[in-house]
Amino acid sequence: MGLAAVFLLAALLTWAARGYALRRNLFDQPGERRSHKVATPRGGGIAIVVSQLMAYAVIGVVRDELAGVLMAFSTGLLLVAGIGWWDDHRPLSARLRLCVHVVAGALLGMLVWQASGDAFKAFFSALLAIGLINVWNFMDGINGLATTQAILAATAFALLLPMPHAGIALLLATGCLGFLPFNFPKARIFMGDVGSGALGYLLAGLVALGITVTDIAWPIWLVPLTAFLVDSGFTLLARMRRGERWMEAHTQHLYQAYVKRGRSHAAVTLDYALFSVAGLTLCAASGELPPVWGSMVALAWAVIGFCIWYMLRNRIVR
**Residues annotated in a binding site for Mg(2+):** 137, 193
As a whole number of angstroms, the distance between CA 241 and CA 207 comes to 30
Cα→Cα distances 97→81, 102, 166, 243, Å: 11, 9, 30, 23
Decide: 122 and 112 in contact? Cβ < 8 Å. Answer: yes
Q: Which DSSP string corresponds to 233-302?
A: HHHHHHHHHTT--TTS--S-SHHHHHHHTT--HHHHHHHHHHHHHHHHHHHHHHTTS-HHHHHHHHHHHH
- Cis omega (within 30 of 0) on the bond before 164? yes
Element holding 12 (H helix, E strand): helix 2-24
Strand partners, 27: 41
Decide: 80 and 198 in contact? Cβ < 8 Å. Answer: yes
Annotated binding site, which residues?
A: 137, 193
Decide: 128 and 204 in contact? Cβ < 8 Å. Answer: yes
Cα→Cα distances 174→2, 48, 183, 300, Å: 10, 9, 15, 30
As a whole number of angstroms, the distance between CA 317 and CA 276 comes to 24
